[in-house]
């Protein structure tokens, strides 16, 4: 094992080539800071994964041309709804009430995989950025002035040095594992099946929004529209094996229960997963700092996971920029103190509340929830306050209030 020669160690090492890692690298390079990103996959991840972008996230990505390209390829959701599917009753949240607060008063539906392709192209042209796909992290160590990582490339173990390391390597973070950090929390009992289909729900379901959270007699589901497809998130009871949950006939029956089309659904992709809510005790550990799913996991209901990770990256890279210009290392602790409360209250707790509301099966309680939501939509000030929070602006305000 050898340390690579002729490599400047005054740089930031980013572990993980998802949105959080790529955005961190873009931000740092634009600040004039050299960055090397290591990703164990051989190329950009093609999994769709997340697909909802909130207004402040679009604002953060705008200076780099990312938002403009995403808008040209994605689908705007100027409103979203909570819906009683059997009757069509709904509460519709009109995001235009945020028009005085942001240039992006809507949610954007755009595949995470396509976002990563945009970011990868940006970094590929950047002389300060180096992306190393097919690089697996094997070990790391740090001193008072730097970090050393051991990576495997084509079966060869190599060492790289950097000034800081950003762990953006997801829920199964290798960095977190090596550091031995507890990832406290719990796992929800039900399995979630995410199906992507070409079926045009908007042509069949009256008044459906591009983002819709629905109750029906079988439980609940979500409908999320993309440019040429819809994503259907369905929740199945505990006890089903992954194979049973992904059974073609089972999925077909459930899709037909949502909208009986008379034709078999064309399914482009299907996957099953369990939802966790977990968080580390602290984000910064010397010169190694965690961001995104490596630091916190939450229910996807409400689209806060990826957005929260991108907000982590925005905050953290600003702190590193200050340190690079002579600021104190305690800024990393400030990052942790600012972003962890947001993950705990504005992301994990809120996502859990969203999930509990939508997994409610009691018809009476569902009607009470719907009436409560409808009352918010008819009062403009209540609506603005609600959307300010659900669009993640409130969490950013919370972070900025901590010094």
Query: Does 3 have pLDDT greater than 80?
Result: no
199 in any annotated domain: no
Look-up: residue for tokens 């950047």? 126
50 in any annotated domain: yes
154 in any annotated domain: yes
- Alpha helices, H only, 259-362: 305-324, 330-341, 350-358
**Confidence band (pLDDT; 50, 70, 90) for 6?**
very low
**Using an 8 Å Cβ cutoff, are 78 and 99 in contact?**
no
pLDDT value of position 358: 82
Extended strands (E) in 105-145: 107-109, 129-133, 136-143
Alpha-carbon gap, residue 181 to 163, rounded angstroms: 21
For residue 130, the domain's CATH number is 3.50.50.60
Mean pLDDT of 292-299: 91
Q: What percent of the chain has pLDDT over 70?
A: 98
pLDDT in tens, 136-156: 999 999 999 999 999 999 999
Per the structure, how many domains does the chain have?
1
Alpha-carbon gap, residue 192 to 212, rounded angstroms: 16
pLDDT value of position 2: 56
How far are the Cα atoms of 181, 189, 242, 275, 352 from residue 186, in angstroms, in the given order? 16, 9, 19, 9, 11
pLDDT in tens, 323-371: 999 999 999 999 999 999 999 887 777 777 777 788 888 889 999 999 9
pLDDT value of position 5: 53
374 in any annotated domain: no
202 in any annotated domain: no
Average confidence score pLDDT of the chain: 93
52 in any annotated domain: yes
Neighbours of 94 (CB within 10 A): 17
172 is in which domain, residue-wise?
A: 2-80+102-184+277-361
pLDDT in tens, 20-72: 999 999 999 999 999 999 999 999 888 778 899 999 999 999 999 999 999 99
pLDDT value of position 90: 96
**Using an 8 Å Cβ cutoff, are 386 and 93 in contact?**
yes
The answer to which of 180-189, 208-217, 259-268 has the lowest mean pLDDT is 180-189
- Alpha helices, H only, 144-278: 174-179, 242-245, 248-258
pLDDT in tens, 190-240: 778 999 999 999 999 999 999 999 999 888 899 999 999 999 998 876 777
246 in any annotated domain: no
Query: Does 96 have pLDDT greater than 90?
Result: yes
49-87 core/surface letters (b: 16 or more CB in 10 A; e: else): bbbbbbbbbbbbbeebebbebbbeebbbbebbbbbbbee
- In terms of pLDDT, which residue wins out, 5 or 318? 318
123 in any annotated domain: yes
pLDDT value of position 1: 55
């Amino acid at each position: 094992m050898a340390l690579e020669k002729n490599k400047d160690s005054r740089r930031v090492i980013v572990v993980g080539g998802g949105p959080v890692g790529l955005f961190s690298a873009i931000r740092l390079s634009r600040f004039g800071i050299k960055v090397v990103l290591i990703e164990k996959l051989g190329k950009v991840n093609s999994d769709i994964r997340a697909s909802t972008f909130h207004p402040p996230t679009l604002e953060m990505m705008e200076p780099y041309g990312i938002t403009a390209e995403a808008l040209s390829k994605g689908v705007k959701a100027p409103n979203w709804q909570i819906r009683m599917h059997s009757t069509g009753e709904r509460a519709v949240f009109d995001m235009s009430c945020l028009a005085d607060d942001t240039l992006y008063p809507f949610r954007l539906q755009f595949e995470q995989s396509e976002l990563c392709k945009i970011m990868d192209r940006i970094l590929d042209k950047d002389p300060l950025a180096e992306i190393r796909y097919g690089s697996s992290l094997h070990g790391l160590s740090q001193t008072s002035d730097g970090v050393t990582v051991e990576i495997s490339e084509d079966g060869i173990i190599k060492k790289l040095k950097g000034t800081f390391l950003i762990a953006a390597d997801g829920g199964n973070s290798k960095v977190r594992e090596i550091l031995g950090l507890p990832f406290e929390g719990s796992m929800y009992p039900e399995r979630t099946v995410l199906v992507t289909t070409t079926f045009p729900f908007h042509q069949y379901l009256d008044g459906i929004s591009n983002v819709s959270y629905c109750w029906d007699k079988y439980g609940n589901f979500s409908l999320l529209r993309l440019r040429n497809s819809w994503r259907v998130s369905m929740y199945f009871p505990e006890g089903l094996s992954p194979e049973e949950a992904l059974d073609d006939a089972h999925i077909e029956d459930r899709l037909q229960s949502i909208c009986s089309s008379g034709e078999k659904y064309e399914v482009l992709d299907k996957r099953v997963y369990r939802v966790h809510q977990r968080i580390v005790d602290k984000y910064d550990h010397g010169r190694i700092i965690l961001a995104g799913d490596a630091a916190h996991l939450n229910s996807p209901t409400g689209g806060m996971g990826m957005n929260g990770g991108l907000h982590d990256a925005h905050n953290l890279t600003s702190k590193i920029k200050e340190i690079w210009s002579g600021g104190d290392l305690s800024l990393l602790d400030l990052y942790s103190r600012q972003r962890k409360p947001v993950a705990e209250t504005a992301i994990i707790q809120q996502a859990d509340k969203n999930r509990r509301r939508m997994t409610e099966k009691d018809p009476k309680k569902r009607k009470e929830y719907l009436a409560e939501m409808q009352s918010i939509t008819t009062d403009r000030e209540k609506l603005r306050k609600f959307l300010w929070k659900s669009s993640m602006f409130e969490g950013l305000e919370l972070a900025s209030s901590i010094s």
